[in-house]
Structure 1
Amino acid sequence: MTRRRWTALSLFTVSILVASPALPQSRTCDAPNASVTVGDGDAAALICDAAREAAGIFAACGLPDIPASVRIETVDAFETDCAGIYHCGRGLIEVLSPAALAARDLPDGAFSDLSPEAYFRSVVVHELAHAATDGMPCPYESCVASVEYVAYAMQVKSLGPAAQAGFETAAAIDRAVALEELNPMILFVAPDRFAQRVWTHFTQQDDPCGFVRRLVAGEVVLDHGFFDP
């Protein structure tokens, strides 16, 4: 989820600093087209895994590269129920720490079958998708549904086949999903259901990544001018 919610085209060197009470030292982990600097600890390793996964799936889908100097910080809580926030224009991503995510009681959530570590990695990929597509064209004040479609599609795409199959089983959608069902009202009222509809719609396309590229280019817009988040 973004703070202002909206492509950077450069090859990227992502500087990621994992926030903690103290960072005695940091290390670098390489990802395709990226050098990721993170602090020590379990969260650092998970962020490195997520950055590599994100770089690969974004490239395979023809999405823009993650822009330079994106920083990721882990936090213990948000004022909202978000799992992560991308701060547009600041190159800053905040995500709940693995421990904070594990402590959340979400038995019926779309991602509830994932381990805390897998969920954490997927949230990082989600927020990196926001960073990569910051500045998507929008004819309205906000195109939050279009932006979140891209992020949720990449989040679920980053999961392994077994986790994707479990996600689809939990969604239990056995029909074609129409674009009208992927609207900002559903996103705000039932974000998990929105995520499930996004993945179902994405996998039903003849060219799923082609559809995402059309969203990123502003050729398809899921939002409406009268909706004010």
Structure 2
Amino acid sequence: MEDLCQGAASALRFLEGYGVKPTRIIDIDIVDRVSEHYGNKALGSYDLENSRILLMSMQDMTEKLAVSTLYGQAFDRIHYRSVVAHEVAHALFHQNSPNARLTNAAQEYLAYVTQLAVLPADRRQQIVEHAGVAGWESGDSISEIYMVMAPEQFAVKSYLHFTGMNDPSAFVKVLLNIKWFYVYVP
């Protein structure tokens, strides 16, 4: 429970700084199975129809061998909290975006940025180095296709792009209001 609460609280604190706040209660259901997302194992998901986060417990994740590493690091409580933060970011995206059903790219961008932002700086730096990519650049299209093919690189590119902007709050507004299947980087 402590890890769930800390992960959720870290996401709420981070996103509040960019104007993304809860508009209603966020429920988290602990489930005992790994779900699939685009053919990849998912540790959690946001159930849009029921407005709930579905998340495996840390114990189930490790005992059922759903995950042993994340971002090239041993999966531990710190990473578990970041997975919780990722899913809370999805919930907040849905609560704050009139077009949330239209694009996974914008949601995943914000969720991965949140997930990496709540990690301790040293762990985050190791992840950035392990991914070996630079942030998104002007003219790039942030798409689900890249995310599915290279989720770790997608996460790091998003985080580096976000933290490299002069006004990330303005880009958060773009993400929340996107009406396309991809996000064009200005």
TM-score scaled to structure 2, two decimals? 0.81
- Which has the higher Rg, Structure 1 or Structure 2? 1
CA apart distance, 1:125: 0.8
CA–CA distance in 2 between the matches of 1:105 and 1:71?
23
2:28 to 72, 90, 99: 72
The answer (yes or no) to whether the contact 1:66–1:131 under 8 Å persists in 2 is no
Distance change >3 Å, CA 159–CA 175, structure 1 → 2: closer
One-letter identity of the residue aligned with 2:142? L
Q: Which residue of 2 aligns with 1:83?
A: 43
Aligned pair 1:214/2:174, yes or no?
yes
Q: Which residue of 2 aligns with 1:192?
A: 152
Distance change >3 Å, CA 175–CA 92, structure 1 → 2: closer
2:3 to 41, 46, 58: 46
Q: Which residue of 2 aligns with 1:202?
A: 162
Q: Which residue of 2 aligns with 1:155?
A: 115
- Please provide the CA RMSD for this pair: 2.5
1:223 to 178, 181, 185: 181
CA apart distance, 1:106: 5.5
1:173-196 CA distances to partner (integer Å, 9 max, x unpaired)?
246534524212112222222112
The answer (yes or no) to whether the contact 1:53–1:125 under 8 Å persists in 2 is yes
Q: Which residue of 1 aligns with 2:78?
A: 118
Distance change >3 Å, CA 223–CA 165, structure 1 → 2: same
CA apart distance, 1:156: 1.0
The answer (yes or no) to whether the contact 1:114–1:163 under 8 Å persists in 2 is no
The answer (yes or no) to whether the contact 2:72–2:127 under 8 Å persists in 1 is no
Distance change >3 Å, CA 176–CA 53, structure 1 → 2: closer
Distance change >3 Å, CA 129–CA 175, structure 1 → 2: closer
Q: Which protein is richer in strand relative to its size?
A: 2
Percent sequence identity over aligned pairs: 23
CA apart distance, 1:171: 1.9
CA–CA distance in 1 between the matches of 2:174 and 2:147?
20
1:131-150 CA distances to partner (integer Å, 9 max, x unpaired)?
112152439x7311011111
Count of residue correspondences: 175
Q: Which residue of 2 aligns with 1:170?
A: 130
Q: Which protein is richer in helix relative to its size?
A: 2
CA–CA distance in 1 between the matches of 2:50 and 2:153?
29
One-letter identity of the residue aligned with 2:110? V
CA apart distance, 1:97: 1.5
CA apart distance, 1:79: 3.8
Equivalent position SS for 1:51: helix
The answer (yes or no) to whether the contact 2:30–2:57 under 8 Å persists in 1 is yes
Query: Which segments of 5 or more consecutive residues in structure 2 lack a partner in the other structure?
Result: none
Distance change >3 Å, CA 208–CA 106, structure 1 → 2: farther
One-letter identity of the residue aligned with 2:79? Y
The answer (yes or no) to whether the contact 1:84–1:96 under 8 Å persists in 2 is yes
TM-score scaled to structure 1, two decimals? 0.67
